[in-house]
Amino acid sequence: TDLPSLIRALPKAELHLHIEGSLEPEQMFELAARNNVALPYDSVEDIRAAYRFNNLQEFLDIYYQGMSVLLTKQDFHDLTYAYLKRVHADNCRHVEIFFDPQGHTERGVAFSDAIEGIFDGLEQGKKDFGISSHLILSFLRHLSEEEAFETLEQAEPYIDRILAVGLDSSELGHPPSKFERVYAKAREKGLKSFAHAGEEGPPEYVYEALDLLKVDRIDHGNRALEDDALVERLVAENKYLTVCPLSNLKLCVVDDLKNHPLKTMLNKGLKATVNSDDPSYFGGYLNDNYLRTAEALHLTKDDIVTLVKNGFDGAYLTAERKAELM
């Protein structure tokens, strides 16, 4: 079989996906109408035309505005279910998704409505598509550590159903060190620890994520490649990197997919995985990320098999589920 057919046919996992970033313009309009929310766009084309970003912050401004249509538990269910339906078509069998509770509680949405709606959507997706899943609670790093503590407190009734904490939003100026105490508390509660690091931020932020947040996985991690000792450490400690090629292109982390570091990461022995990040905003779901990167970087079948395997190995699957999938 040819490479695109192999990519489409293989069962895959997705480990870096912000559920709010899967909100398609059509669904944004539908929810805006249902909830009587005014949008600053006249049409779906108008929305798509606004998705041109020079950096992470330009994206985030549009992303937080987009999520304003999400108000009810049903909205969060519908959002989650639509994502699972879409990646089912990509032969995705396991997902570990982020949500940004502070993006919702800040607007007066109850934490319980957001998380329960997402859980309902995940459950329905498991029934209808056989997709297993975990949920990751992500803190907004441009907000204070005090606010992160409040968010962790709100998660208490659901703690056994949450896999990990994550750290996202504006990276520069908000280093991992800002969240050292709240991560310690999350780990005490039995949560895994993930953090976005080295997307726009320097290698120092990746060191902080390892040393201070004691992360089990690094989200992105591109700029770790600037520091050979750091690369060696990530390899030695078997840290998985959740890499997002089309996101990196849209946010100008790379200037061209041909210059994307994914192949270099594999060559250096790093445990890289392929993911879509915010597929509605970045122009591609899981298979698109594999397909376009494979073409741009001339990836081989072995590379694809390695990347797909890394996705399952880097995931938190039960032994039974892993046996089913691999």
Binding site for ligand HPA (CB under 6 A): 18, 21, 56, 63, 168-169, 196, 199, 247, 277-278
Binding residues: 16, 18, 196, 277-278
* Residue 151 contacts residue 132 (beta carbons within 8 Å): no
Q: Which stretch binds Zn ion (CB under 5 A): 83-91, 112-120, 277-285, 306-314?
A: 277-285
**Lookup: tokens for 87:** 């990646």
| Catalytic residue chosen out of the listed positions 20, 96, 171, 199 | 199
| In the complex, least distance from residue 226 CB atom to ligand HPA, rounded to whole angstroms | 18
| In the complex, least distance from residue 70 CB atom to Zn ion, rounded to whole angstroms | 18
| In the complex, least distance from residue 322 CB atom to ligand HPA, rounded to whole angstroms | 27
Q: What span, in angstroms and rounded, lies between the C-alpha atoms of 46 and 189?
A: 44
Helix (H) or strand (E) holding 49: helix 44-50
Strand, coil or helix: 34: helix
**Lookup: tokens for 209:** 């994520």
Catalytic status, residue 320: no
Q: What span, in angstroms and rounded, lies between the C-alpha atoms of 88 and 131?
A: 8
63 in the Ramachandran plot: left (φ > 0), alpha (ψ -120 to 50) or beta?
alpha
Binding residues for Zn(2+): 16, 18, 196, 277
Number of neighbours of residue 194 by Cβ within 10 angstroms: 28
Site for Zn ion contains 277 (CB under 5 A): yes
Q: Which stretch binds Zn ion (CB under 5 A): 102-110, 114-122, 142-150, 275-283?
A: 275-283
* Bridge partner list, 19: none
**Lookup: tokens for 47:** 């929305």
Q: Which entry of ligand HPA, Zn ion, none binds 169, CB below 5 to 8 A by partner kind?
A: ligand HPA
Q: What span, in angstroms and rounded, lies between the C-alpha atoms of 299 and 286?
A: 16
Nearer Cβ to ligand HPA, position 277 or 303?
277
Site for Zn ion contains 78 (CB under 5 A): no
Nearer Cβ to ligand HPA, position 134 or 317?
134
Query: CB-side exposure of 255: number of CA atoms within 13 Å?
Result: 0
Q: Which entry of ligand HPA, Zn ion, none binds 21, CB below 5 to 8 A by partner kind?
A: ligand HPA
| In the complex, least distance from residue 79 CB atom to ligand HPA, rounded to whole angstroms | 14
Q: Give the residue numbers annotated as catalytic, written as ranges.
A: 199
Point out which residues bind Zn ion (CB under 5 A): 277
